[in-house]
Structures are given as C-alpha cells and as structure tokens.
C-alpha cells in the first residue's frame, strides 16, 4: 500500500500531465482561431486586400482630390497604419528630419507604445504644403494639434469615396484593405517579416506571417511551369 507521500507524488504527476495537455490544446486552438480570423479572405472567399493596381489607382485619385483628404489617404496607403492611428497624428509626430511618421500603436495592452514608419520625402512635402508641418511659426503653439479634426465615421466615408472614384469594387472598398495591401506588397517585395511587424504595429509575428503567403508574381511564375504546355493549345476566347 502506498504512503501518503507516494500518493501525493502520483497525484501531482497526473495533474501536471493534464495541465500540459490542456496547455497544448489551448495553444493549438489559439493558433487555429488566429489563422481563421486573420485570413486574407472573408467568409465568401473575397480577398480583403488591395492589389498593386488598385493601390495605385487609389493614390492617383487621392492626389487629384487635394487638401487634407489627400494627405490622409496617402498616409493610410503608404504606412499601412490603422485609421484610428492616422487620425491621432499631430504635427509633432511628423519627423521630417528622419523621413518618418511616428504612430502610437493603439491595439496593444499598454498605452504609450510608439513606432516610427519610414515614408517618402514626397509625402512629407504634402504635409508641409497642406498642414504647414515644417513652418517655424507653428513649432511652439500647434505641435499637438491633430492634423485631421475628423471623427472616425467621417474619415471612413472619405476613404470609401476616394476608392469609388478610383474604380475599386465595393467588395474591396474598405479602409482596412489599404492596411492589408501594404502588408501584402511588403511581403511580396521581400521586406523582412520583423520590419513589417514593427511598421504595422503587430504584437505577434504570426499575425504578420499571414501577409507573406499572398499570391504574387513569383508564385504566378511558378504556376506557369505547371500549365505552360497546355496554354499553347487553348485559343483566345476573344
């Protein structure tokens, strides 16, 4: 017959086995849920990101619009930031000397987490022209004034309107499609995942990895090897 000490040891061993098993199941479940909720396609199979041609059309339409709408839309497209993060920008967050915009990452457990995202000089020139970011007389009193004094709903409507002008289909015409498009194109052009993770403000690298698996030119070229011989006997339908 086992002593109390032996029984306790057996019980603790079984308990540890059960805990480890539950931990493994929970980890697998979390990974599955993450993949399901952060897929690049919705429940009907529509992609949730803009391809390069659509992003270019959006940028052209935004530039033609002029004014604050231009800078807002260009910032979304070029940085991949969340719409709420862009709305929170102030003049002091435009780091012209460093060619970067500093965002506060809003989807983190802690506040006050900032990230610098590199941007082209041409975007900074729009900030100077439209918002007067680099003008010396604004350094003292206006640094913490929001660049776009809009509500989220108004901002969302402006982006949708520019997307419609750009000829982007309704199923893709969502502000978040710009963020997804940024991640997809960065992945297709060989930007390291860790850089994309930092620029997009992801807490988990697994979230960023979703963008590395989008269909791109390299994969299309590989696929051509599988059906290139068949294409020769398929006449053009036009």
- Residue 107 is predicted with a pLDDT of 74
All residue ranges of the chain with pLDDT < 70 are 1-38, 108-109, 134-143, 218
Q: How many angstroms separate the CA atoms of 85 and 98, rounded?
A: 19
- Residue 214 is predicted with a pLDDT of 79
- Residue 230 is predicted with a pLDDT of 84
Spacing of C-alpha 43 from chain mean position: 19
Q: What is the CATH number of domain 52-213?
A: 1.10.443.10
- Record the pTM: 0.77
- Residue 132 is predicted with a pLDDT of 87
Domain edges within the chain: 1-37, 52-213
**Can you read off the two tokens belonging to residue 139?**
């350094």
- Residue 38 is predicted with a pLDDT of 56
- Residue 95 is predicted with a pLDDT of 94
pLDDT tens, 167-202? 999 988 889 999 999 999 999 898 999 999 999 999
- Residue 5 is predicted with a pLDDT of 57
CA trace torsion 130, 134, 137, 138 (10° rounding): 70
- Residue 137 is predicted with a pLDDT of 45
């Amino acid at each position: 017959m086992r002593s109390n000490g032996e029984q306790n040891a057996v019980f603790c061993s079984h308990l540890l086995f059960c805990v480890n098993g539950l931990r493994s199941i929970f980890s697998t479940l979390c990974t599955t849920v993450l993949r399901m909720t952060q897929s690049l396609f919705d429940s009907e199979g529509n992609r949730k990101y803009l391809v390069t041609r659509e992003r270019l059309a959006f940028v052209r339409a935004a530039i033609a619009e002029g004014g604050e709408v231009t800078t807002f839309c260009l910032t979304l497209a070029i940085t991949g930031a969340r719409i709420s993060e862009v709305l929170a920008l102030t003049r002091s967050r435009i780091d012209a000397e460093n060619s970067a915009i500093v965002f506060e990452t809003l989807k983190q457990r802690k506040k006050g987490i900032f990230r610098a995202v590199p941007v082209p000089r041409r975007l900074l020139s729009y900030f100077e022209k439209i918002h007067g970011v680099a003008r010396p007389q604004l350094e003292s009193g206006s640094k913490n004034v929001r660049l776009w004094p809009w509500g989220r709903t108004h901002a969302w409507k402006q982006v949708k309107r520019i997307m419609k002008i750009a000829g982007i289909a309704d199923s893709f015409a969502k502000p978040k499609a710009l963020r997804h498009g940024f991640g997809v194109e960065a992945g297709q052009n060989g930007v390291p995942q860790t850089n994309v993770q930092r620029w997009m403000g992801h807490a988990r690298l697994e979230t960023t990895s979703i963008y590395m698996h989008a269909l791109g030119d390299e994969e299309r070229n590989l696929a051509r090897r599988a059906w290139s011989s068949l294409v020769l006997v398929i006449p053009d339908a036009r």
